[in-house]
Structure 1
């Protein structure tokens, strides 16, 4: 990878704004920007102290492009670990492009996606898992995903992995040393201590692997499918949860012909609500396709919300029986998926009618709520119930939670190798055979933090970053 040149990119979002920041990084960053900037103080950028900000004009020869603030970071004390200059100019698209084009003409190269963070990794400013957390932090749109990304960027996960790797490496060195004295039949690695280490590594790896189920849904949002017969208030419920008119509400049954998705944050956790087409027997081809998509969305959802119109059922024994049948259909088709049954439009019922519904349905569902999506009654309780479906214990305890599928895969492979080491200890295998499995485990640990890597892997990771970061 070419990292010896000087790169430039817009570090703020593209488009017009009050301020734009143009980042320049590389060994010649200060030398390239210096002649293009005339400081009000009269000082040259190459002569000023590191970590200082200077007001002046950005010029293309005698032409003044903009009055800007220029931040200077010398030596390795910058985000990228190399000389860096950041130009804070006015946010006009024209000004941004004029300055960037000027810098390109003077010797800079346009940065690739994530190249500034890639250089930070290569220059030892952060390990690979921390670098990946930068992208997660930028993409975070709720408190929980922000907290997880921040913890990982600060090295919480990589520190834990690095410590285990170091301890395993120490024992690996002793095991390898035994191979040099195989004829003397000596043991440098205390087998009891090694057994304790292997057991501890297994425990930590299993905990981290198990945390991925929570981390993945927190990072990507928990998908909730809202299903039920047509015209029971699914779209109204979605609007009540989102607090806006996102879905079309109509008295005409079958209005929702496709799925509608939107995301909100409840208690700092992102929930992705999917309003689906109503489930019913229909000869309408288009509506039928919508119903087919409904079952596909239930399959992909974390939780299913079954909504029904309580005002239509009331004390009707036949309707209540049919409702029980529909609920059982979903439970039988998706037995492992949490099902929340919600009675909507209870504002039109008497208290005795509501209680009758509860008494009839409670034995058939673990989770039953009564709401009025139209008035907002019961919406807060619904939000609390949805939060209960998410295991936030580890998050509240500030435990390490895995959110990255690449890390998850590497941890699974590392655990597989550690289990082989455990089997070797149990069978009292010779050192040379155990050494092979230990090396493989160390390899997978190194994949996570970047101690083991290649250009293709780095290219795949940083290609998903925004340009300028």
Structure 2
């Protein structure tokens, strides 16, 4: 599947900037770049330069000078793709970028497709498939936690754990297969006791990795948090306080927020996506009714619900608030619910104690804030962070964030459980071998030792051009 042609693409984001990087990779990358390059000294040829060197000069098209550039040379196999690679750092003008790329195309390059540089790195053995996928995750990471996980995976943390399990299982599989060759002599090469211990250990590791996906998926995609409550209780003010900017319109008019407003912040390295929803109340306003309908849709999509109410209204409406809180709690029993009392700065100690006593039987998480004065907001953020199990991240344990890996792990565990049952029931070696081969297949799918063109096409199609 490896193409021998030379590809070119812009490796930095499109658009004008101070500097742009244009990348070439392939057998003729250095020769093509050299044909358009004029060094500022000694008229040196790029083809004769050592790998991992940088050269100052000009990109020229005949007698026309396009730009002064720095050209980095990486010779195979010691490059990102495992091929000859050239990176041209030019000025970031759109015109200059396109002129240089068009020049390289005329000299024999082909425009790279999405992810083709990383695809070539995989096909040339520079990265395994899970590491290649981590490159895309690293580019997309927008908080500390997702960056840390992507870096760990790109360095081979997840791959090495899977490869070690696969190697041990393959060793036993070889002994089982050997037994089949001597079936008539009733010889047992694989120690069944050790094999059971291995299968048990593999099963525990797979279960741990599978369980980590719940945390990993949250870290990678962020945690959606719905802010709900009656109109005009301070939901938009709370959103602005959490984001530390005036993101939502605030007014004393009930029903000001008629559509959901979303924005993201990072708390403790974890991404949270806050959703300010329309106030829930009976209304004849058609537009506001649509907003309220969307509120319930956003609650369905969220993983955490913040129910906000105004402290001063509680005394006269305590039973109504308690009913509403119970309704949300019962309708979404699996979603963490935080009940937040707003405007506590307007209460005395006795009034606050009264509210807390009234809410105590509900057995809920309760926070007190003044969104307008930004008091209690940090405590609310800490409470939100407590819902995320970041222990694995702190301990540098492997965390699965990729849905494809998760699916393969589930299938591998299913086959391992079959092997485990077969050992317990004294299943014959030929039947055990079938389940072992299937488990090995799913392990190989993760790292790319077993793959196909369709799978690679789906994975690398999601990459950006130039990577």
Question: Match of 2:418?
Answer: 420
* Distance in 2 (alpha carbons) for counterparts of 1:278 and 1:186: 74
Cα displacement string for residues 300-353 of structure 1 (whole angstroms, at most 9, x for unaligned residues): 11110000011222x33xx11111100000111011111000001112222221
Whether the 8 Å contact between 1:18 and 1:90 is mirrored in structure 2 is yes
Equivalent residue runs for 1:225-264 within 5 Å: 225-264=226-265
SS of the aligned residue for 1:340 comes to strand
Moved more, 375-384 or 345-354: 345-354
Correspondence for 1:10: 10
Residue number in structure 2 paired with 1:388: 386
After TM superposition, list the pairs within 5 Å mapping 1:70-469 onto structure 2.
70-313=71-314, 315-316=315-316, 319-469=317-467
Q: Deviations over 1:253-297 (max 9, x none)?
A: 111111111100001110010111111122222222222221121
* Post-superposition offset of 1:2: 4.9
| TM-score using structure 2 length | 0.99
Q: Is the Cα contact below 8 Å between 1:341 and 1:365 reproduced in 2?
A: no
Q: TM-score, normalised by structure 1?
A: 0.98
Find the aligned partners of 1:75 and 1:296 in 2 and give their Cα distance. 53
2:284 and 2:179 map into 1 onto residues whose CA distance is 76
Q: Deviation per CA, 1:3-56, whole angstroms, max 9, x where unpaired?
A: 211000000011000000000000110011111000112211001111000000
Deviation at 1:97, TM superposition (A): 0.3
Provide the rounded CA distance (Å) in 1 between the counterparts of 2:330 and 2:313.
25
Which SS does the other structure have where 1:274 is aligned?
strand
In the TM superposition, what is the alpha-carbon distance from 1:363 to its structure 2 partner? 2.4
Give, in whole Å, the separation in 1 of the partners of 2:395 and 2:108. 50
Are the counterparts in 2 of residues 69 and 87 from structure 1 also a CA contact under 8 Å? Answer: yes
| Residue ranges of structure 2 left out of the alignment (5+ in a row) | none
Q: Deviations over 1:145-196 (max 9, x none)?
A: 0000000000000000000000000111111111111111111111001000
Distance in structure 1 (CA, Å) of the matches to 2:320 and 2:49: 79
Q: Is the 8 A contact 2:2 2:123 kept in 1?
A: no
- Separation (CA, whole Å) in 1 of partners of 2:448 and 2:455: 10
Q: Which residue of 1 aligns with 2:23?
A: 23
Between the aligned partners of 1:24 and 1:301, the Cα distance in structure 2 is 44
Contact 1:71 1:85 in 2 (8 A): yes
Q: Distance in 2 between matches of 1:3 and 1:215?
A: 35
Report the 3-state secondary structure (helix = DSSP H, G, I; strand = E; otherwise coil) of the residue aligned with 2:263.
strand
Residues 99-148 of structure 1: per-residue CA shift (max 9 Å, x gap): 00000010000000110000000000010000000000000000000000
RMSD, aligned α-carbons: 0.9
Separation (CA, whole Å) in 2 of partners of 1:320 and 1:73: 71
Structure 1 contact 20–91 (Cα < 8 Å) conserved: yes
Aligned-partner Cα distance in 1 for 2:102–2:351: 72
CA distance in 2, matches of 1:351, 1:23: 66
**How far apart are residue 449 of structure 1 and its match?**
0.1
Aligned-partner SS, 2:432 = helix
Q: Matches of 1:46 and 1:61 in 2, distance apart?
A: 19
Distance in 2, matches of 1:257 and 1:458, equals 44
Distance across 2 between alignment mates of 1:288 and 1:176 = 67
| SS of the residue 1:179 aligns to | helix
Aligned residues: 466
